[in-house]
Amino acid sequence: MVSYKWIVLSNTTLGALLASLDGTIVLISLPVIFKGVGVGPFLPANFPILLWLLLGYGVVTATLLVTCGRLSDMWGRTRMYNMGFAIFSTGSLFLFLEPYSGTTGAWALVGFRLIQAVGASFLFANSAALLTDALPPDERGKAMGINMIAFIGGSLVGLVVGGVLAAIPTLHLGPIVLPTWRIIFLVSVPIGVIGTVWAYARLKEISTRAAHQRIDYVGNVTFAAGLTLVLVAVTYGLLPYGSSPTGWGNPWVLAGLAAGLGLLALFLVVESRVRDPMFRLNLFRVRAFAAGNVTALLGSIARGGMMLLLVVWFQGIWLPLHGYAFSQVPLWAGILMMPMIAGFLTAGPISGWLSDRHGPRLLATVGMGIASLTFFLLALLPLNFAYWEMGALLYVQGCGMGMFAAPNSAAVMNSVPAENRGAAAGMLATLQNTGQQLSMALFFTIVIVGLSSGLSGSVTSVLAGAGIGPPDSSILSGLVASNPTGALFGAFLGENPMSGLIDAAMANPHWVNTGLPANWQSTLEAPHFFASAIGAAFHNALAEAFLFAGVVTGVGALVSALRGERYIHSETRATAVPAAANTHDGVGGATGAPAISARR
């Protein structure tokens, strides 16, 4: 008979794979999805839809994770995990069956993605806690490694699967013909149904419930509202405002940030005073818990936007420069990201196994250091790099991520009392998801600002090389440079935005009667033209983003090195020692229970 711990590991691994795969399969398939529902991705009015399809999933999960973890501690982790699988599968089915088209259909997809995110919140908040409940301390690192492989590997495999599906015009199932964008959402439906049935049939409740505790309503409301306002404001800060390429001067964005930060400050005050807080601030007295969470946050801030920028680099610049048609770039971008999967698969299981025996500090710190080094090396790559250079760096980056992820997660979960594992897992996942959302906003902002300052000159230079001089070059370069956000999203979506810009150029009085010369139009619509036009400005901005990520990850490595000795919270209260004896890196239970520690 299969041991229960392997049932838990296999089911949570499937959940992690599903939730992460579904995020990136949409990421790389957005051009097909927009075409499928009949929405133009380059129209400024549709940028909010694009942003919410990109970032809305992460906003919801980041907001709900702590609440989901706390509720799971109170009502049962298995029960809430199973419910999360069911909600996620329902959202997936709604996305597949979505009946509308146009703007209504696009916003409906956003809404159903948010339903998926609610289910994913319960999956993310409970996976690590269920593993910690089911496995002994000396096997948790290995289990976390396998789980993390599924999560990170799923996000990378999603790029490949999305690219493959994006290249398939339709799928014929007997008399049923499915368009590509529905196939993309169909992928998660059977997996979700299988996972849901399996979870309800085989998982059982073995956790210690904190049934005596009360729901922290004020804390839940202030945290959810505050974090939502901050993340939504950050998201809308990426949109142009007036003559500015970004929206950081928009009064509504500034007001949202101020109100959100104010509510989060109030949340911290509330959590320090209520009897049963949702966010266990006293857990941060445990050095292993605090260092693990801070390091995870810094790593997410550094790495969260990296994948997005690499996809932009491949789809919008490198592949078109090498003669690939825009219709082919999603598939090839996914394939070219594969070395990162290989690196993670190489280092993830080994680091988890080694951390069970030798502790997490060295492995997690070296992993963070490797990630920091690869960011600095990525900043040095030329725009039109030799692929072996990029592939080698992606592999090393994957190894660094794999070395860090499992030991760090196991260290965090080992450091807390059993009744607080759901809350601890939710707090760790919240910081990681929040870091990822902030990372995307920061990276996009750095690149957009860099494009706005250098795009006009680079476009003019490329036009001159094509034999197009003033005043025609000034008009065309102005159309490109006036919307750096559209240029960036054009590169990201793997679509040739020059067609839309040419249509806009036809409205210029200079060409109303004569029209754009035919040879110019063919030159402008060539796959390599747009990549060459934005390439120089994009590369300078990209280097700045990678340097920023390298510094942040380097700080994360330093924090990891200071995490202290290996700390495992005992499973047995009978051997408790007074909390006062461990105040430097120990913490009492939820209601002042003694701290229990074991060092190896």
Residue 536 one-letter amino acid: A
Cα dihedral: 129, 130, 134, 140 (round 10)? -50
What is the phi/psi pair of residue 179, to 5°? -70, 160
Residue 143, Ramachandran bin (φ over 0: left; ψ between -120 and 50: alpha; else beta): alpha
> Which pLDDT score is estimated for 323?
82
Residue 392: Cβ-neighbour burial (10 angstroms; 0-12, 13-18, 19+): middle
Alpha carbons 231 and 58: distance in angstroms, whole number: 9
Locate tokens 């190896």: which residue? 600
DSSP state of 285: G
> Which pLDDT score is estimated for 450?
75
Residue 220 one-letter amino acid: N
Q: Which two tokens stand for residue 315?
A: 């789809």
Q: Which two tokens stand for residue 321?
A: 């420069």
> Which pLDDT score is estimated for 393?
95
Pairing type for strands 170-173 and 568-569 reads unpaired
Contact 85, 125 (CB under 8 A): no
Alpha carbons 334 and 21: distance in angstroms, whole number: 12
SS3 assignment, position 172: strand
Residue 407 one-letter amino acid: P
User: Is 154 among the domain residues?
Assistant: yes
Alpha carbons 35 and 513: distance in angstroms, whole number: 31
> Which pLDDT score is estimated for 87?
93
Residue 594, Ramachandran bin (φ over 0: left; ψ between -120 and 50: alpha; else beta): beta
Alpha carbons 383 and 33: distance in angstroms, whole number: 29
Alpha carbons 7 and 344: distance in angstroms, whole number: 23
User: Is 399 among the domain residues?
Assistant: yes
User: Is 236 among the domain residues?
Assistant: no
> Which pLDDT score is estimated for 108?
93
Q: Which two tokens stand for residue 422?
A: 């759901």
Alpha carbons 286 and 218: distance in angstroms, whole number: 25
Alpha carbons 300 and 304: distance in angstroms, whole number: 5
In terms of Cα–Cα distance, which of 517, 550, 592 is closest to 276? 592
> Which pLDDT score is estimated for 550?
94
User: Is 325 among the domain residues?
Assistant: yes
> Which pLDDT score is estimated for 255?
94
Contact 81, 122 (CB under 8 A): yes
SS3 assignment, position 369: helix
Contact 330, 29 (CB under 8 A): yes
**C-alpha angle 90/94/97, rounded to 5°?**
140
User: Is 187 among the domain residues?
Assistant: yes
* Domain ranges, residue 354: 4-215+276-450+537-598
Q: Helices 484-493 and 4-37 meet at what angle, rounded to 10?
A: 120
C-alpha 403: how far from its chain's center? 19
- As for how many domains the chain has, the answer is 1
Q: CATH number, domain at 92?
A: 1.20.1250.20
Contact 39, 179 (CB under 8 A): no
Q: Where are the alpha helices (DSSP H) in 381-497?
A: 387-414, 421-465, 472-481, 484-493
**CA distance to 45, 160, 173, 391, 498, per residue, from 334 (Å):** 29, 4, 26, 12, 24
Contact 534, 491 (CB under 8 A): yes
In terms of Cα–Cα distance, which of 254, 187, 263 is closest to 221? 263
- b/e code 406-433 from CB counts within 10 Å (16+ = b): bbbbbbbbbbbbbbbbbbbbbbbbbbbb
Q: Helices 421-465 and 102-134 meet at what angle, rounded to 10?
A: 140
Contact 428, 412 (CB under 8 A): yes
Cα dihedral: 167, 173, 178, 182 (round 10)? -80
Q: Where are the alpha helices (DSSP H) in 38-76?
A: 47-75
User: Is 520 among the domain residues?
Assistant: no
What is the phi/psi pair of residue 586, to 5°? -125, 170
> Which pLDDT score is estimated for 587?
39
Residue 439: Cβ-neighbour burial (10 angstroms; 0-12, 13-18, 19+): buried
Contact 42, 497 (CB under 8 A): yes
* Ordered per-residue pLDDT tens for the chain, 600 residues: 568 888 888 888 888 888 778 777 887 777 778 888 888 766 667 778 877 887 788 778 877 877 787 778 778 888 888 998 899 999 999 999 988 888 999 999 999 999 998 998 888 778 877 887 888 877 777 777 777 777 766 776 777 777 777 777 676 666 777 787 888 888 888 888 888 898 898 888 876 665 566 777 888 788 888 888 887 888 788 777 777 777 888 899 999 999 999 999 998 898 888 877 777 778 888 888 888 899 999 998 888 777 778 888 888 788 888 888 777 777 787 788 889 888 888 887 788 778 878 778 888 899 999 999 999 999 999 989 999 999 999 999 989 988 888 788 878 877 877 777 767 777 787 788 788 878 877 887 887 777 777 666 777 777 777 777 777 777 777 766 666 666 666 666 656 667 666 766 677 776 666 666 777 777 777 777 777 777 777 888 888 889 999 999 999 999 998 886 665 655 533 333 333 333 334 433 333 333 334 443
User: Is 17 among the domain residues?
Assistant: yes
Q: Does the predicted TM-score (pTM) go above 0.85? A: no
Alpha carbons 65 and 150: distance in angstroms, whole number: 19
User: Is 473 among the domain residues?
Assistant: no
